[in-house]
Amino acid sequence: MVKAYELRGLPKEELLKTLAENRKQLAELHVAKVTGGAASKIAKIKQVRKSIARVLTVHNQQQKEGIRKASAGSKYVSKDLRMKKTRALRRALSKEHKAKKTLKQQKKDTHFPMRRYAVKA
């Protein structure tokens, strides 16, 4: 079983090679399961699947980081690199738009300010 932090140090070619080996091993284990192989082989299927997932995760992270570096400083950011948040938050007004007032409201605010009352103690 390979740890994710060990995989992060590997270059892309080695990651893909490891992925191919794991997939080949998984296929062999599936064949062993069908033909009635040993229980140890059948139990190993889960470990191999998890290691494939780890390799794919690290590979995808590296790819995304590369794309992030390549598109750094560009005017637009691709959708998969943007913050996910929630649908409602993405569609909400920005702080600038929220603070804006219409001309009529600005005139109202200037001509009729909030009244201040002195409270008798």
**Maximum C-alpha span of the chain:** 94
Q: How far apart are CA 30 and CA 52, in angstroms?
A: 15
Per-residue pLDDT band at 57 (split at 50, 70, 90): very high
* Residue 94 in tokens: 């920005």
Q: In the prediction, which pLDDT does 2 show?
A: 84
Span 66-119, pLDDT tens digits? 999 999 889 998 888 888 999 999 999 999 999 999 999 999 999 999 998 888
Q: In the prediction, which pLDDT does 36 show?
A: 85
Span 87-98, pLDDT tens digits? 999 999 999 999
64 contacts 12 by C-beta, under 8 angstroms: no
pLDDT at residue 121 tops 80: no
SS (HEC) of the chain: CCCHHHHHCCCHHHHHHHHHHHHHHHHHHHHHHHCCCCHHHHHHHHHHHHHHHHHHHHHHHHHHHHHHHHCCCCCCCCHHHCCCCCHHHHHCCCHHHHHCCCHHHHHHHHHCCCCCCCCCC
Q: In the prediction, which pLDDT does 38 show?
A: 84
* Mean pLDDT value across residues 36-63: 92
* Mean pLDDT value across residues 39-54: 92
Q: In the prediction, which pLDDT does 120 show?
A: 84
